[in-house]
Amino acid sequence: MAKFPVKIKRPIKGFQFVKKHKLISIIIAYFIIGIIYVVTGFLHNIIIGKQVVFSLLISIPLAAPFWRIMIYADFKHIGIMFQDVITLISVILFVIFFYIIFQWSNEEKKQLNHNKN
């Protein structure tokens, strides 16, 4: 049986960073989700006409690392809010993104190992 060379499509450089630095990418994604939580809450307050107490410059560093706790508090004491829904959608999208990238890198490793043999 003849072996045919398999050409692997090279991903964009950003995807290569995600594949090489998995932990750093997950931490960055965690903070991006926190920023999404804070900004959607800020926009929600503006839309409904509530007074904004803290600007984004203050609220992002204070709330972005603790968005999981704040979502839990929202569910427990207030109920499901707009910012919770948007944040959970972004979490699902990041999970899908990382799953695809990590599967892609595993398949690429298998193909490279197969080509060496």
Residues in the chain: 117
8-state DSSP, 52: P
Q: Rounded CA gap, 97 and 90, in Å? A: 10
Q: What is the pLDDT of residue 6?
A: 47
pLDDT tens string 6-48: 454 555 555 566 666 777 888 888 888 889 988 998 888 888 8
- The candidate with the shortest Cα–Cα distance to 34, out of 59, 72, 65, is 65
Mean pLDDT over the full length of the chain: 77
Q: Is the pTM of this model over 0.85?
A: no
